[in-house]
Every structure is written in structure tokens, then in C-alpha cells.
Amino acid sequence: MWLASIARHLRRKGHPVVLTLTDPWLLCPRQLLDRNNRLCNGPFSETGCIEPECHAAKTSRLREAKSFYSQVDEVVTASGFIPALFRPNGWVRDAMIVPHSVDYRNVKLPETMCFYERPKWFPSRM
């Protein structure tokens, strides 16, 4: 996995390596979805995300991905959901949660909108 070699190179040069987890791709190339598009428990779960003949490739990829994960200095994510998917699979480390969006419950829209209508889901008065 080229990510692991980049992380090793940066660390040798004294640069910090920060991983932003936005989805479970590092843990599973199928995004932890089984054949029926349900969330599975991990790459080696009983639900059979990937065909059995891919076992060797999956094992090698997972080992390299875990090596990369262990080399980063900091893990950043937008919520606790993604790290919660990694922990049961043995990928345990603290992650800094940095919300990437705005909590729109406290945003007040003007009564008239210039470019678009008030969304139907947004309350008319706050």
C-alpha cells in the first residue's frame, strides 16, 4: 500500500503524519458493506463481504493498511462513528473528533431567500 510507504518517508524526514478518517475504506475496500449492502462487522466477518478466493489479497491489504494506521501521528475524524467501526477489528487508538460541518439547529435563515426557497424541512420560525 503506497500510503504506508509515504508515511514512513515523511516520518523519516521528521514530518508529522495526520490521517483523516472519513469512511472505513482503510479497514475495508467495500466500505464494510456485505453483499446485501448491509453494514458488516469487518473484513473477516461471517457475512462474506469478499469472495473466498480474495482471502490472500485481503489479508495482505489489511496488514499493509494496519501498518499505515499504526505509523500516523494523529487520527482525525468528524465523529466517533468511524473509529467505532475500527475498534472491534483491533484498530485501537484515540481519534481527535473535529466536526466538519455546522449545527444548523441554531442557524437563522432570513425571511426572504435571494437564490433559493426556504427548504421545506427548515422551520419557518425559530
What's the confidence (pLDDT) of residue 124? 56
Ranges of each domain in the chain: 2-97
Nearest to 29 by CA among 69, 4, 58: 58
- pLDDT, the chain, mean: 76
Instruction: Give the span between the Cα atoms of 72 and 89, in whole angstroms.
Output: 18
Please tell me which of 2-11, 32-41, 43-52 the model is most confident about, judged by mean pLDDT: 2-11
Sorted by sequence, the CB contacts under 8 Å of residue 60 that are 6+ apart come out as none
Is 50 exceeded by the pLDDT of residue 126?
no
Looking at residue 63, its pLDDT comes to 84
pLDDT band at 60; cut points 50, 70, 90: confident
CA 54 to chain centre: 23
